[in-house]
Amino acid sequence: MRQHVNPLSHFFQLPLSLPSKSILFKNPYHPIHLDIGSAKGEFLMELATRYPNWNFLGLEIREALVSSSERKRKQLGLQNLRFLYCNVNISLDEWLSDLDIDQLKRVSIQFPDPWFKRKHYKRRVFTKSLLTSFARSMSKDGELFIQSDILKLIEYMSHVIDDSIYFDKKVVRGFKWLKKNPYEVSTDRELFVLNKNLPIYRAMYIRNSELFID
């Protein structure tokens, strides 16, 4: 899904008050996996089916995709999964602050819009402030998973994470990038790229247990 919207336009800068976890999930105290840019939502639907003792939240800036994903979720009867429409760099921080300590266990950002031109880098979803929000809310052993088929984009994301010092990269000896998706569930974009025999660059980061954020 590469249907770009400009997150810096006035419309997407309006803050939204996201529903609390007690409204979103049947059991609001389960650990949470947050997927940024959930697109069609197939990735989270599969995980939510496999792991009923987890809660899954997909956030997407394209409202039509959220509506479609929610229709499918309701048809499947999944009460541990929700999809919400928002600009995460505007509306997510308040929602994260309402979570229980160590409840946020996983964050995944997969195949985000690359915004290739340097003057458009500021439109990219992954920012230092967003990363800090994750780190502040995440459990000490929490996972941050990123993947993309654009090498320059994944290198940019990795550089932001490495500079933050809040996360340690999970290294597989002899490889710069993970060979497989650790969750063994693929997004639509991932399947599209794999079917074309093109490379995918993946990295897993673990929240540094010794660093705290005021």
- What is the pLDDT, as a whole number, of residue 2? 47
Q: Residue 149 domain-assigned?
A: yes
Q: Has 113 been annotated as catalytic?
A: yes
Tens-place pLDDT, residues 18-64: 899 999 999 999 999 999 999 999 999 999 999 999 999 999 988 99
Asked if residue 15 belongs to a domain, the reply is: no
pLDDT at 128: 86
pLDDT, mean over the chain: 86
Q: Determine the structural domain holding residue 75 and report its residue range.
A: 26-207
Burial (CB < 10 A; 0-12, 13-18, 19+), residue 72, is middle
Question: Where residue 210 falls among pLDDT bands split at 50, 70, 90?
Answer: low
Q: List pLDDT tens digits, range 103-147.
A: 999 999 999 864 333 433 444 557 888 899 989 999 888 999 999
Hey, what are 63's tokens?
Answer: 């409202």
Active-site residue (options: 93, 113, 141, 149): 113
What percent of the chain is predicted at pLDDT more than 70?
A: 84
CATH number of the domain that 129 lies in? 3.40.50.150
SS (H, E, C) 61-122: CCHHHHHHHHHHHHHHCCCCEEEEECCHHHHHHHHHHCCCCCCEEEEEEECCCCCCCHHHHH
pLDDT given for residue 124 in this prediction: 53
pLDDT tens sequence across 174-205: 788 999 999 999 999 999 999 999 999 999 99
Number of domains composing the chain: 1
Give the per-residue pLDDT at 143.
97
Confidence grade of residue 71 (pLDDT, cut at 50, 70, 90): very high
**pLDDT tens, residue by residue, 72-88:** 999 999 999 999 998 88
pLDDT score, position 3: 52
Residue 18 lies in a domain: no
In a domain, 73, yes or no: yes
Q: Is residue 67 part of a domain?
A: yes
Residue 6 lies in a domain: no
- Residue 139: half-sphere exposure toward Cβ, Cα within 13 Å: 15
Opening angle at CA 50, ends 45 and 52, nearest 5: 90
In a domain, 17, yes or no: no
Task: Answer yes or no: is 183 within a domain.
Answer: yes
